[in-house]
């Protein structure tokens, strides 16, 4: 399935089918899932039928179905550029200064 060729409504429909499939696979009634997710049964029914819903509703339902892993694709991993990495490597200490960490005593002028 090529999601890029699908319309927005078709994708929403696909999401609803996903929710319904996993709800039935786990043998959970709509009323029970809706109650556990803290939403109305009609809202869950609309979601499963491919009608538009709020993102929060989808998150609540997927949490109960133990399917939140579908959002892992949204994780942002910071990557450092090769130039920045080389710059940081050059700034690393190359050798020890040989100075002790003991506090220095200043001689008094008295």
Q: What is the pLDDT of residue 76?
A: 84
Q: What is the pLDDT of residue 102?
A: 60
- Give the residue, 7 or 76, on which the prediction is more confident: 7
42-46 long-range contacts (CB < 8 A, ≥24 apart) are 44/19
CATH of domain 7-72: 1.10.260.40
Of the candidates 110, 11, 6, 21, the one whose C-alpha atom is nearest the C-alpha of residue 62 is 21
Q: Mind listing the pLDDT tens digit for each residue in 17-58? A: 999 999 999 999 999 999 999 999 999 999 999 999 999 999
**Cα angle for residues 51, 45, 72 (degrees, 5° grid):** 70
Q: Does residue 5 have a pLDDT over 90?
A: yes
Q: Mind listing the pLDDT tens digit for each residue in 76-98? A: 887 888 888 788 888 877 777 77
Return all residues near 34 (Cβ < 8 A) that are at least 6 apart. Answer: 40, 41, 43, 44
pTM confidence score: 0.69
Residue carrying structure tokens 């609309």: 46
């Amino acid at each position: 399935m090529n999601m890029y060729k699908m319309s927005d409504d078709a994708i929403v429909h696909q999401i609803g089918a996903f929710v319904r499939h996993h709800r039935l696979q786990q043998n959970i009634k709509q009323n029970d899932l809706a109650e556990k997710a803290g939403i109305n049964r009609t809202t869950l029914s609309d979601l499963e039928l491919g009608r538009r819903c709020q993102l929060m509703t989808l998150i609540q339902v997927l949490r109960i179905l133990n399917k939140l892993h579908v959002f892992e694709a949204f994780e942002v991993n910071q990557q450092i550029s090769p130039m920045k990495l080389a710059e940081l490597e050059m700034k690393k200490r190359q050798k020890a200064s040989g100075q002790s960490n003991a506090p220095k005593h200043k001689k008094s002028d008295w």
